[in-house]
Amino acid sequence: MKQQHLVVYNSLTGSKQAFEPLVPGQVGMYVCGVTVYDYCHVGHARVMVMFDVIYRWLINLGYTVNYVRNFTDVDDKIIARANERGIEMNALTDEMIEAFHVDADALGCLRPSHEPRATLHMDEMIAMIRALVDNGHAYVADSGDVLYAVRKFSGYGQLSGKNIDELESGSRVEVDEGKRDPLDFVLWKKAKPGEPSWDSPWGEGRPGWHIECSAMSCAHLGDSFDIHGGGMDLKFPHHENEIAQARAANHGDFARYWLHNGFVNINAEKMSKSLGNFFTIREIGERYHPEVLRMFMLGTHYRSPLDFSDVAMDAAKAGLDRLYETARRLGLKQHSSDNVSDSFAAAMNDDFNTPEALAALFDVCRRINKNLDSGADVSADMAAFYAMTDMLGIVQQDAQAWFQAGDVDAARIEALIDERNQARKDRDFARADAIRDELAAEGIVLEDGANGTGWKKV
């Protein structure tokens, strides 16, 4: 059954739905970014990569996409880290945002249309909080904090599929003195001495975490927009609270489709900073090309858990090498746009099923190799091959460089290859094999082809 039109799994309804944007031809998409106090780990990478693929596919479908991904650049952890390091908060967040971009670029992620920072949207946040206070959805507690009254919002719990009473019965939340309800959350936090703060109708303070996303998404995309995404762990309470704030303050529906990606696990356990079982993108980058990490992620559907391991990364590298091998045989890349195979398109249209899309890519890859072997025409398949790899954001490097990157003395290798080929011509295979073994010991593999001998680093 071919899927001609995009169907997405909407966390809000718990089912797959045909995707129909609010405005035909246009998509507004907001993805929760990161809190910038440290380097990104593999879990963050998954959000970046998967929503990058979604972004690319939406564009391919012909939509004009307004893709917004925020930076949380003020919060407790940031302040604590800045104090630890003895630097200003902004110095820390600027540094981490730059690092974020380096990592995202390395992973081959396109830049979003907008990357708003919380600290640059104080006016919007304060306006939204004021609206909530004015219409009775928020109140000023004895502590001076402004809190959101969850009981005043009838739809609370719709996204996470919970109701307030259930949440409270199993709640681990400490009951705060000033709260009218244990689930009430902070909209505006009164400043403590020495903390960064902004002026507001409720005195000096700073915004709560949830309000920034409500305010920034609506500021860039309007009170109603199409897609809101992020990691599964943000579903509750973060996204639930975003909905409560935005719908109570504005008149729109807020986000209509909610997309949540699964976690990255280590030994079947969630990778997280609190558990300390995480690898940063940079650490992985020392052992694997970032594109291997991307390939690894594409092999699993975005909503499923993804178990990170060296074995899995090695397998991803082997598969990616095979694609690069084909790219190398094809030679110069022919740019193409919408030549993806039908099965690839069907897979992507079915809630961005990248594992199935990869299967479609490998089908074409195999056919190309076969036809290249037999000398048949591959032009149509080549266009499809590159259209699909571009859509997935893989095979973006020069194929020759992919295999020959690293610390190698190419001139010396070429010289040895010449020497070996002379030996082969002289049928001195002992000498020829000795040279090959010598290079193999250095991780250089020789390949004798119809057009001479090539080499690659493994």
Q: Cβ 25 to RNA, closest distance in Å?
A: 27
Q: Are strands 452-457 and 444-449 parallel, antiparallel or unpaired?
A: antiparallel
| Backbone dihedral angles phi then psi of residue 112, each to the nearest 5 degrees | -65, 165
Q: Cβ 201 to RNA, closest distance in Å?
A: 24
Q: Closest CB to RNA among 139 and 352?
A: 352
Contact 156, 179 (CB under 8 A): no
Contact 235, 228 (CB under 8 A): no
Q: Cβ 270 to RNA, closest distance in Å?
A: 4
Q: Closest CB to RNA among 200 and 300?
A: 300
Q: Cβ 264 to RNA, closest distance in Å?
A: 4
Beta bridge partners of 307: 265
Beta bridge partners of 69: 31
- As a whole number of angstroms, the distance between CA 455 and CA 189 comes to 61
Contact 40, 78 (CB under 8 A): no
CA atoms within 13 A on the CB side of 17: 15
Q: Closest CB to RNA among 224 and 261?
A: 261
Q: Closest CB to RNA among 135 and 304?
A: 304
- As a whole number of angstroms, the distance between CA 99 and CA 96 comes to 5
Q: Cβ 107 to RNA, closest distance in Å?
A: 14
Beta bridge partners of 64: 26
Q: Cβ 127 to RNA, closest distance in Å?
A: 22
- How many CB atoms lie under 10 A from the CB of residue 146? 27
Q: Cβ 355 to RNA, closest distance in Å?
A: 3
Q: Residue 404: name the closest of 340, 338, 454, 354 by CA.
A: 454
Report CA dihedral (346, 301, 37, 98) to the nearest 10 degrees. -40
Q: Closest CB to RNA among 44 and 206?
A: 44
Q: Closest CB to RNA among 134 and 269?
A: 269
DSSP string, 97-158: HHHHHHHHHHTTPPPPSB--BGGG-HHHHHHHHHHHHHTTSEEE-TTS-EEE-GGG-TTTTT
Give the DSSP letter of residue 325. H
Contact 252, 223 (CB under 8 A): yes
- As a whole number of angstroms, the distance between CA 318 and CA 149 comes to 53
Q: Residue 392: name the closest of 299, 260, 282, 285 by CA.
A: 299
Q: Closest CB to RNA among 26 and 287?
A: 287
| 63: CB partners within 8 A, 6+ apart | 21, 25, 26, 27
Tell me the H-state helices in 15-107.
42-60, 76-85, 89-106
Q: Cβ 171 to RNA, closest distance in Å?
A: 4
Q: Closest CB to RNA among 22 and 289?
A: 289
CA angle, residues 96, 102, 104, in degrees to nearest 5: 100
Q: Cβ 90 to RNA, closest distance in Å?
A: 19
Q: Closest CB to RNA among 22 and 162?
A: 162
Q: Cβ 278 to RNA, closest distance in Å?
A: 7
Instruction: Tell me how far the alpha carbon of residue 337 is from its chain's centroid.
Output: 22
Q: Closest CB to RNA among 33 and 116?
A: 33
Q: Closest CB to RNA among 110 and 315?
A: 315
Q: Cβ 324 to RNA, closest distance in Å?
A: 9
Q: Closest CB to RNA among 121 and 238?
A: 238
Q: Cβ 296 to RNA, closest distance in Å?
A: 9
